[in-house]
C-alpha cells in the first residue's frame, strides 16, 4: 500500500509565526466552491493512492487495513490545526475531513465569523473527498429568526463558499437529542432539577470553591424519566425545572458541575413551530450534532476550551455514529471593532446606526455594503493565520488587504466631494471635447473611457490655497498645474463673495498640453482631478470612519456604550459631483475616485443621483507632510486613511498606483 509524501512550499507567515498554508492536493467542492484559495498551496500531504482508498463510511475514519501502512508526513510550515489534521490523516485515523460552520441564527455574521468560515471551508477544500457543513444551531427559539438564517446563507455564499447538500439544522436532530437525554437518565447520569435559575447559580460554587449538590440530585431513574416526559408534554411552566447532567459538583472545571442539558421554553420555533417546548442547551446539542453528522474536527474559538471536558464526557457516555474531536483556536479581534452580538444588537436597537448592514458595523453584510471585496476579507483572514492565543489585529491590516484587492480590480473615475468652480477663460464658450482616460492602470484589459471637458469645471476646494506653504504643489495664484488627462491650467484670478469666501477661480489653459504633457518639456508638480460642470452628475457621498473611538473599545467602562462610540464616524457630503460614467455602475460595485479613495455605490442612490459609501481612503501625501511640519491649510477628506477617532497606525503597506497619490 502506498505511503504519503511531503509536497508544496511554505506559505506566508501569520501571527506568532504561524503560517496559513494549505494541503498540496487536489481540491474539491460543490459547484460554486473556490477550491484552493486563490492558488495558494502549502506544505501538506498527498496520498499516492486513490483518494477513496481505505475509506470507511462517512465518518472519515480509516479502515483497519490501513493501520499498518508506511506513511511519511511533513508538517513544516503548517499552522497547529493543519498539523493535527495532517497527523490524523497520516496515522490512518481519518481518510478525509469533515468540518462545520455552526452559527446561531440570532443575528448577522461579523468579521470574527469570517475567520471561522474561511478556516472550516478552506480545510475542506484542501483535502480530497472532504466537506464542510453549514449547520444552524437553532436551539433557542426566543432569539432566532428566519431572516438571520437567510442572511447567514447569503453571507457565506458571498464570501465564496458553498456547502452543497450539507445544509443542516440542530432542530433536525431534536428527536435524536431527546432520545440521548433519555439514555443518560436511564444510566443514572442525568436528573430533573426543580431549583430555580438563581438557586442553581448560587450553588455552582466558584473557581476556588466547590459547588453544592442539588437536593433533587438523587431522584430515582423512574422519577426522572417521568418528570422529563412531563417536561416534554408541557406540564411545567418555564423555569419550573431543568434537566441536568450528573457529573461532579466539586470538579475544578465549572462547566462540569452538573451542567444544564435541557430547559423549558414555550415559544414557537422558526422551523418546528410549537412541536417542542423543551430545548437542548448548546453544550449538549453541539457535540451530539457533530457526532450525528460525522464531523471529524470540530473547530471553535478559545472561549470553548473550558467546555471541551463536557464535550468529551457527553460523547463518552453515549453510543454515537462517530467521535469528533474539538480543537480551539484564537478568535479574530480587530481594532476599533466589537463582535459581541449582544452589543451589536444594542447599537442597532438604540439607533446609533441605520441597521445591521450600516457600513460602520463589523458585520459581513455591512462590509459588503461598504464595498469590501470578499477576496480581501478572505486574504485578510488567511494572512492573520491560526493561533492559540488571542491577539488584537490592527484595523489598518484589514484596510491594507482591502486596498490591495481594490487597487487591482476597481475601475477609476473622477469625482469632487467639495466643489470649487473653475472658469477657463481662454477656452471657447459652448465648446466641449472628450478626453481618453484609463479605467485601471493596474489592469490593461479594463480599457479606457471618454471623459467630457468644457470651459467650466469643478476641482476640490482643498486643492487650492491662496497662500500655500512649502511642499503644497496644488493650485495657487499664478501657479500652473496639470488637470488629469486634460491640460495645464494657470490660476489668474480668485473670486470671492461678500464674506470673503472663495467662490470661483479664473484660469487659463495651454491648448498645446492636451493629454497632460507640454511640447516644450516643462514640468509641473501638481496633478488635479476634476469634472466638467455641465456634464457632471450630483451625488451624496458618505464618508465612514470607525464606529468606535478607541482601538480597544470598552462599552462597559465609564459612560457606557455611548461614550465608546466615535461621534465622527459618519460625515455626509451632499454637494458631490461625479463624472457622468459613474451612473453606469450598479449598487454594490466599487470604484476608485482618483486621489480620494475607494467608494461603493449604495442602494439608496439612483442613476441620476448616486449615493457613494467610502470603502477605504487612499494615502494622502500632503496630509502627511502638513501633519509632520505643522502646516496650516486643508487636510483633505481623511485621505490619509486615519479615521476620525484616536486610531494608531501601524504600517502603511504597499504603495497603491500613482493615481492614488497625485500630490
Q: Which CATH number is 608's domain given?
A: 2.40.240.10
Any domain includes 319: no
**pTM listed for this prediction:** 0.83
Nearest to 475 by CA among 429, 523, 422: 422
Residue 292 lies in a domain: no
Does 300 fall in a domain? no
Q: Does residue 294 belong to any structural domain of this protein?
A: no
Q: Tell me what pLDDT residue 32 has.
A: 35
Question: Per DSSP, what are the bridge partners of residue 263?
Answer: 242, 279
H or E stretch at 416 = strand 415-416
Q: Is the pLDDT of residue 619 over 80?
A: no
Task: Give 302's Cβ-side CA count (13 Å radius).
Answer: 11
Do 42 and 135 lie in one domain? The reply is yes
Residues 140 and 181 in one domain: no
Note the helical H segments in 127-280: 146-159, 174-186, 197-202, 221-233
Whether the Cβ atoms of residue 491 and residue 505 lie closer than 8 Å to each other: yes
649 plus 501 within the same structural domain: yes
Q: Which of 25-29, 497-501, 527-531, 556-560 has the lowest mean pLDDT?
A: 25-29
Give the 3-state secondary structure of residue 198.
helix
- What is the per-residue pLDDT for 628? 63
CATH value at residue 280: 3.90.800.10
Q: Is the pLDDT of residue 68 over 70?
A: no
So which residues are the catalytic ones? 104, 331, 341
CA distance 58 to 509: 74
Q: Report yes or no on 316 lying in a domain.
A: no
pLDDT at 30 over 80: no
- pLDDT tens figures, 111-128: 999 999 999 999 999 999
pLDDT at 445: 96
Q: Which long-range contacts (CB under 8 A, 24 or more apart) does 15-18 make?
A: 15/384, 15/385, 15/387, 15/391, 15/393, 16/385, 16/387, 16/388, 16/389, 16/391, 18/79, 18/80, 18/385, 18/386, 18/387
295 within domain boundaries: no
| pLDDT score, position 554 | 87
Mean pLDDT for the chain overall? 86
Averaged pLDDT for residues 575-580: 98
Of 655, 619, 621, residue with least CA distance to 639? 619
Q: Are residues 335 and 261 in the same domain?
A: no
pLDDT tens-digit series, residues 239-273: 999 999 999 999 999 999 999 999 999 999 999 99
Predicted local confidence at residue 37, as pLDDT: 42
* Cα–Cα distance, 170 to 486 (Å, whole number): 62
Q: Are residues 135 and 186 in the same domain?
A: no
Helix (H, G, I), strand (E, B) or coil at 151: helix
Work out the angle at residue 229's Cα, subtended by the Cα atoms of residues 227 and 230, and round it to the nearest 5 degrees.
65
The pLDDT value given to residue 555: 83
Least confident of 5-14, 137-146, 174-183: 5-14
Which runs of E-coded beta strand occur in 455-536?
456-460, 480-483, 488-496, 502-510, 527-528, 531-532
Q: pLDDT category, 658, cuts 50, 70, 90?
A: very low
Q: What is the mean pLDDT of residues 214-226?
A: 98
pLDDT of residue 625: 54
- Select from 256, 286, 316 the last residue of a domain: 286
The C-alpha atoms of residue 623 and residue 619 are separated, in whole angstroms, by 9
Burial of 101 (0-12, 13-18, 19+ CB in 10 A): buried
Q: Please give the pLDDT value at position 40.
A: 41
Same domain flag for 177 and 141: no
The structural domain count of the chain equals 3
pLDDT more than 90, % of the chain: 79
According to the model, what pLDDT value does residue 442 have?
Answer: 96
CA distance 497 to 652: 41
Grouping H, G, I as helix, E, B as strand and the rest as coil, residue 260 is strand
Match 425545572 to its residue by C-alpha cell. Answer: 241
Residue 405 resides in a domain: no
398 occurs within a structural domain: no
Q: What span, in angstroms and rounded, lies between the C-alpha atoms of 300 and 328? A: 5
- Over residues 575-589, mean pLDDT: 98
The three-point CA angle 305-310-315 to 5° equals: 120
Q: What is the mean pLDDT of residues 182-195?
A: 99
Residue 513 grid cell: 498640453
Residue 225 or residue 72, greater confidence? 225
- Do 211 and 262 lie in a common domain? yes
* Amino acid 623: pLDDT: 53
- Can you say whether residue 198 is alpha, beta or left, with left for phi > 0 and alpha for psi between -120 and 50 degrees? alpha
Q: How far is CA 2 from the centre of its chain?
A: 41
Same domain, residue pair 137 and 215: no
The Cα 200–Cα 190 span in angstroms is: 15
How much is the pLDDT for 67? 38
DSSP 346-379: HHHHTTSSSSTT-TTSSBHHHHHHHT--HHHHHH
For residues 302 and 378, what is the distance between their CA atoms, to the nearest angstrom?
A: 21
Same domain, 371 and 416: no
Grid coordinates of 215: 437536593
Interval 40-57 mean pLDDT: 36
Domain shared by 475 and 555, yes or no: yes
What's the confidence (pLDDT) of residue 626?
Answer: 55
Asked if residue 266 and residue 358 are part of one domain, the reply reads: no
Whether residues 603 and 483 share a domain: the answer is yes
Single residue among 286, 313, 347 that ends a domain in this structure: 286
Least confident of 54-63, 106-115, 333-342, 468-477: 54-63
Side by side, which strands form the sheet with 456-460? Answer: 527-528, 480-483, 488-496, 502-510, 419-424, 456-460, 531-532
- CA torsion 365-279-240-318 (nearest 10°) is -130
8 Å CB contact between 150 and 108 = no
Q: Binning pLDDT at 50, 70 and 90, where does residue 75 land?
A: low
The pLDDT assigned to 635 comes to 40
Given a contact cutoff of 8 angstroms between Cβ atoms, the answer to whether 141 and 266 are in contact is no
Alpha carbon 262 to chain centroid, angstroms: 33
- The DSSP symbol for 647 reads P
> Who has greater pLDDT, 442 or 14?
442
* Host domain of residue 613: 412-660
Amino acid at each position: 500500500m502506498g505511503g504519503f509524501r511531503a509536497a508544496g512550499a511554505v506559505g506566508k507567515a501569520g501571527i506568532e509565526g504561524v503560517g496559513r498554508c494549505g494541503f498540496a492536493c487536489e481540491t474539491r467542492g460543490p459547484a460554486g466552491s473556490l477550491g484552493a484559495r486563490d492558488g495558494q498551496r502549502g506544505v501538506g500531504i498527498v496520498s499516492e493512492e486513490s483518494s477513496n482508498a481505505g475509506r470507511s463510511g462517512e465518518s472519515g475514519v480509516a479502515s483497519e487495513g490501513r493501520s499498518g501502512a508506511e506513511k511519511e508526513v511533513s508538517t513544516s510550515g503548517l499552522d497547529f490545526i493543519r498539523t493535527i489534521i495532517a497527523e490524523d490523516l497520516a496515522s490512518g485515523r481519518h481518510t478525509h475531513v469533515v468540518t462545520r460552520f455552526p452559527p446561531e441564527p440570532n443575528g448577522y455574521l461579523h468579521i470574527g465569523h469570517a475567520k471561522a468560515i474561511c478556516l472550516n471551508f478552506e480545510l475542506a477544500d484542501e483535502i480530497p473527498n472532504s466537506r464542510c457543513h453549514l449547520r444552524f444551531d437553532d436551539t433557542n427559539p426566543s432569539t432566532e429568526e428566519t431572516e438571520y438564517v437567510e442572511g447567514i446563507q447569503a453571507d457565506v455564499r458571498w464570501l465564496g463558499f458553498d456547502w452543497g447538500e450539507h445544509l443542516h439544522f440542530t432542530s433536525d436532530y431534536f428527536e435524536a437529542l431527546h432520545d440521548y437525554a433519555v439514555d443518560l437518565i436511564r444510566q443514572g447520569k442525568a436528573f430533573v432539577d426543580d431549583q430555580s435559575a438563581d438557586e442553581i447559580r448560587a450553588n455552582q460554587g466558584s473557581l476556588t470553591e466547590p459547588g453544592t449538590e442539588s437536593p433533587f440530585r438523587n431522584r430515582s431513574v423512574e422519577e426522572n424519566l417521568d418528570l422529563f416526559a412531563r417536561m416534554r408534554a408541557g406540564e411545567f411552566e418555564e423555569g419550573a425545572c431543568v434537566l441536568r447532567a450528573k457529573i461532579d459538583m466539586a470538579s475544578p472545571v465549572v462547566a462540569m458541575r452538573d451542567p444544564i442539558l435541557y430547559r423549558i421554553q414555550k415559544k414557537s420555533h422558526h422551523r418546528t413551530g410549537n412541536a417542542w417546548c423543551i430545548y437542548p442547551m448548546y453544550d449538549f446539542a453541539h457535540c451530539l450534532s457533530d457526532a450525528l453528522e460525522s464531523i471529524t474536527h470540530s473547530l471553535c474559538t478559545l472561549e470553548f476550551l473550558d467546555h471541551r471536558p463536557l464535550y468529551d464526557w457527553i460523547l463518552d457516555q453515549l453510543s454515537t455514529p462517530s467521535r469528533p474531536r474539538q480543537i480551539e483556536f484564537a478568535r479574530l479581534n480587530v481594532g476599533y471593532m466589537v463582535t459581541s452580538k449582544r452589543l451589536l444588537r444594542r447599537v442597532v436597537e438604540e439607533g446609533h446606526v441605520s441597521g445591521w448592514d450600516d457600513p460602520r458595523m463589523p458585520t459581513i453584510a455591512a462590509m459588503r455594503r461598504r464595498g469590501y471585496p470578499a477576496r480581501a476579507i478572505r486574504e485578510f483572514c488567511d494572512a492573520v493565520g491560526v493561533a492559540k492565543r488571542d491577539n488584537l489585529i490592527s484595523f489598518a491590516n484589514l484596510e491594507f488587504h482591502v486596498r490591495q484587492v481594490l487597487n487591482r480590480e476597481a475601475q477609476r473615475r473622477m469625482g469632487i466631494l467639495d466643489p470649487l468652480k473653475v472658469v477657463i477663460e481662454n477656452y471657447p464658450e459652448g465648446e466641449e471635447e472628450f478626453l481618453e482616460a484609463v479605467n485601471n492602470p493596474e489592469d490593461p484589459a479594463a480599457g479606457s473611457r471618454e471623459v467630457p471637458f468644457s470651459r467650466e469645471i469643478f476641482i476640490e476646494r482643498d486643492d487650492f490655497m491662496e497662500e500655500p506653504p512649502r511642499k503644497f504643489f496644488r493650485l495657487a495664484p499664478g501657479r500652473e498645474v496639470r488637470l488629469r488627462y486634460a491640460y495645464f491650467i494657470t490660476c489668474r484670478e480668485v473670486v470671492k463673495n461678500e464674506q470673503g469666501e472663495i467662490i470661483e477661480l479664473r484660469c487659463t489653459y495651454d491648448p498645446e498640453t492636451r493629454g497632460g504633457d507640454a511640447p516644450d518639456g516643462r514640468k509641473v508638480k501638481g496633478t488635479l482631478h476634476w469634472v466638467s460642470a455641465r456634464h457632471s452628475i450630483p451625488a451624496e457621498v458618505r464618508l465612514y470612519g470607525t464606529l468606535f473611538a478607541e482601538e480597544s473599545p470598552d462599552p462597559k467602562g465609564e459612560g457606557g456604550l455611548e461614550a465608546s462610540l466615535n461621534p465622527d464616524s459618519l460625515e455626509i457630503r451632499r454637494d458631490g459631483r461625479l463624472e457622468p460614467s459613474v451612473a453606469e455602475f450598479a449598487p454594490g460595485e466599487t470604484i476608485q475616485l482618483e486621489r480620494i479613495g475607494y467608494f461603493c455605490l449604495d442602494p439608496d442612490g439612483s442613476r441620476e443621483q448616486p449615493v457613494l459609501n467610502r470603502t477605504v481612503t487612499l494615502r494622502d501625501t500632503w496630509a502627511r507632510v502638513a501633519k509632520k511640519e505643522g502646516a496650516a491649510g486643508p487636510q483633505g477628506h481623511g485621505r490619509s486613511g486615519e479615521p476620525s477617532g484616536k486610531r494608531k497606525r501601524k504600517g502603511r503597506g504597499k504603495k497603491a498606483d500613482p493615481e492614488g497619490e497625485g500630490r
